[in-house]
Chains A and B, each alone.
Chain A
Amino acid sequence: MSTTALDTQDAQDSRKTTGTAGRHAGGQQVTFPRVVHMEWIKLRSLRSTLYTLAITVALVIGFGLLFSSVVGSGDGPGEDDFGDPTSISLGGVMLAALAVAVLGVLMSAGEYATGSIRATLAAVPSRLPVLWGKVTVFAVVSFALMLVAVLGAFLAGQSVMSSRGLDTTSLSDPGVFRALAGAAVYLTGAGLIGLAVGVLLRNTAGAITLVVGALFVVPGLIQLLPSSWNDAIGPYLPSNAANAVMTVRTASDSLSPGSGLMVFASYIVVLLAGAAVLFKRRDA
């Protein structure tokens, strides 16, 4: 594959009429790793992105610590209201998901808002590698960072609860590591949903509203529906499906961790597929 590509390159070089063009000879082609590299430079070169990632980590750990410190004290919720010690220390994940989802939207719709999408697509006119490059960079950076944040929140939270004489759990207990990885998957997935919706709507404010509504508002509204509806729809909502993956003790009205992961992943796949079709076809 690479040999063929280089041959084509040589052919292109040989038909050049300008003497200067040879200066940068050799492999000036678009490859997927190079597009990923471009997206990585874009991500790391914006202060707003770095701040948002830092805030997300702070939310996961900060709120985890807060819940671990106050649970079961005074009139607040008791230990049992959270289900298990792991869930208490993951109390910040839902809020952090909001920040990650916004970051995902900014990564895609933000390029339309600033007009930089046109510079990007002029450099990579085949287009789709840009979308997959964004997905790759976002998924890798977000998952790595969120896994660290979630582990930090868990370990700090358990040690706080242990010092307060409450029940705790350890990483080696059944289901605990799966739940922590599930939380990182949820955070990353929320961002990918934001990224896909950002491509679909090409409008920052609209995309943020839609994603926040779908992930955080709709689950609350569904609970107001008759319970037969709620039971039928509720577990399949993206946030509830993801919740099934990140809790150690599966609730009776929830999907199993495996099905939850499948359902949550399906939302992401369908949205990204739709985004890819429109991204390829539409005027930039």
Chain B
Amino acid sequence: MIEVNNLSKRYGDKLAVDALSFTVRPGVVTGFLGPNGAGKSTTMRMVMGLDRPSSGTVRVNGRPYEQHKAPLQEIGALLEAKAIHPGRSAYNHLLALAASNGIGKQRVLEVIDMVGLTEVARKRAGGFSLGMGQRLGIASALLGDPHIVMLDEPVNGLDPEGVLWIRNLLKDLADQGRTVFVSSHLMTEMALIAEDLIVIGRGRLLSAGPLADFIAQSAGRSVRVQSPQAASLRDLLLGDGVSVSSSRPGVLDVQGLEAAEIGERAAAAGLVLHELFVQEASLEEAFMELTRDSVEYHATTAEFATVGRTNR
């Protein structure tokens, strides 16, 4: 379990992470989504104690990470591919990390085999491709057989086979009862593997909860209605919290009403319907919707700031 509480990180003038609070629970894969520069990596670095929070706290399995006596058993992380000296072999890199936590050579060989690097493990890591670097990073995350696995953009640079492998690996880890926390900018990837979702934009929390709720609640969900009496139907449906748009004559996209409600109202008014179906927003659309709002909000404040400066 990862508990982030009112976490902020300031770099000079820039607030990279802004009063972030969320909990990542064990047993499921939790996706961490946000546009570039949203503060995902900074947040993950603070979880690992690599960056010091400007304010707020992070607890890993109940306490700050640095207070754990067996750190690699608590959390294994892939924060950036190739956090390794190019002159050192993958085997020696892992052996050194393992040694610090009293983990044996056998486990090192095991994780190397698990990520499929056995053949190149004794070669200099400097020659590794991005994908091999990712696999090595995942191997180091798994070294301590940890309760929590945290991966920053794990599918970056992996071939389709590797992507499939990661997907299954993460699901297996979650099924074993571990906490799995994965960041990605690939929404489609999240839709396939994540059960919970945490979305941030500009360092702020935009949404946290089950992925299904996230999609359902998003404004992108609409009901498509086709009717020869579209104009009358439109007048009938419009009201508080309901919006209706039309992409072509005779077709309405209704937001804010359930399909059943629309059908019943149409029947009561004697209007003919040719088609009535629910359009689920894709995760991608839901995500764009959320982050667009956050970007607009910040653009406005930036404008005010400029005006303030000019007046002075």
Q: Which chain A residues have a beta carbon within 8 Å of chain B's beta carbons?
A: 5, 8-9, 12, 16-21, 23-24, 27-31, 34-35, 37-39, 41-42, 45-48, 110-111, 114-127, 281-284
Residue of A nearest to B72 (CB): A123
B145: contacting residue among A9, A17, A24, CB under 8 A = A24
Do B93 and A5 touch (CB < 8 A)?
no
Interface of B is mostly: loop
Query: On chain B, which size bracket covers the interface?
Result: 35 or more
Do B145 and A284 touch (CB < 8 A)?
no
- What's the Cα separation between A105 and B116 when bound, in Å? 34
Q: Can you give 7 contacting A-B residue pairs, CB < 8 Å?
A: A20-B145, A24-B104, A29-B70, A42-B96, A114-B85, A115-B83, A115-B84
Do A119 and B100 touch (CB < 8 A)?
no
Do B100 and A37 touch (CB < 8 A)?
yes
Q: How many A-B residue pairs have CB under 8 A?
A: 141
Contacts of B82 in A (CB 8 A): 115
Residue of A nearest to B100 (CB): A38
Asked if B65 lies at the interface with its beta carbon under 8 angstroms from chain A, I say yes
Distance in Å: Cβ of A118 to nearest Cβ of chain B: 5
Asked if B225 lies at the interface with its beta carbon under 8 angstroms from chain A, I say no
Do B69 and A18 touch (CB < 8 A)?
no
Do B96 and A12 touch (CB < 8 A)?
no
Do A24 and B103 touch (CB < 8 A)?
yes
- What's the Cα separation between A127 and B82 when bound, in Å? 20
Asked if B293 lies at the interface with its beta carbon under 8 angstroms from chain A, I say no
Contacts of B87 in A (CB 8 A): 46-48
Distance in Å: Cβ of A36 to nearest Cβ of chain B: 9
Contacts of A45 in B (CB 8 A): 88-89, 92-93, 95-96
Do A37 and B99 touch (CB < 8 A)?
yes
User: In the complex where A48-B87, A283-B52 touch, is A30 in contact with B100 (Cβ < 8 A)?
Assistant: yes
User: In the complex where A119-B140, A122-B71 touch, is A41 in contact with B107 (Cβ < 8 A)?
Assistant: no
Do A115 and B80 touch (CB < 8 A)?
yes
- What's the Cα separation between A121 and B96 when bound, in Å? 12
B138-157 to A contact mask, C-beta < 8 Å, 1/0: 00100011010000000000
From B32-40, B43-51, B250-258, give the one contacting chain A. B43-51
